[in-house]
Homo-oligomer: A and B are copies of this chain.
Amino acid sequence: MVHLSSIYRKLEEGAKRLTPQRELVIRIFAEHPGEHLSAEEVHQLVKSHFQDIGLATVYRSLELLTDLEILTRISFDDGRARYEFNQEETHRHHHLVCVHCGHVDEYAEDLLDPLEDRILYERGFQVLDHELKFYGLCRNCAGKLGKTGGPVRETRGD
């Protein structure tokens, strides 16, 4: 979970004003955990749940919040940027993108630190961040397509 107080503190530290529009954008993300919202989706959600807001303001809010490291920008190659809470300190994760239904699931961070150390040592490249996406078939779609080929357990996957 992301603490709202820490978000407001980051805004203050950045000498940025806490406007109703920015609060609502933040609230949308707080109320949609685990989703990866595009600007247009945030715009629609704010408008339908709360009040009218300009699309340009949404774009500017998303950029501001990303600069303040409150949000993280991700791309799933569907032609638009998507955003989620930056959970760097609490819950780093990768993404499992189903190429059939488009669903995006998360997978807990794992075993990339040793690789980053090696990259620094071998190549002099200082890793600041990484992004790992797996493209494939989620359990549901694999089932529908009759492509189950591994030790798939019967718990729900998405």
Contact = CB atoms under 8 A, between A and B. Distances in A.
Interface of A: 73, 75, 77, 81, 96, 98-99, 105, 107, 110-111, 115-117, 119-121, 123-139, 142, 147-153, 155, 157
A1 to B, nearest CB: 22
15 contacts: A77-B81, A96-B119, A96-B125, A107-B119, A120-B150, A124-B152, A124-B155, A124-B157, A125-B139, A127-B134, A127-B135, A128-B135, A128-B136, A131-B131, A131-B133
B123 A139 contact: yes
B135 A123 contact: no
B132 A132 contact: yes
Interface of A is mostly: mixed
A137 B132 contact: no
B73 A123 contact: no
A134 B124 contact: no
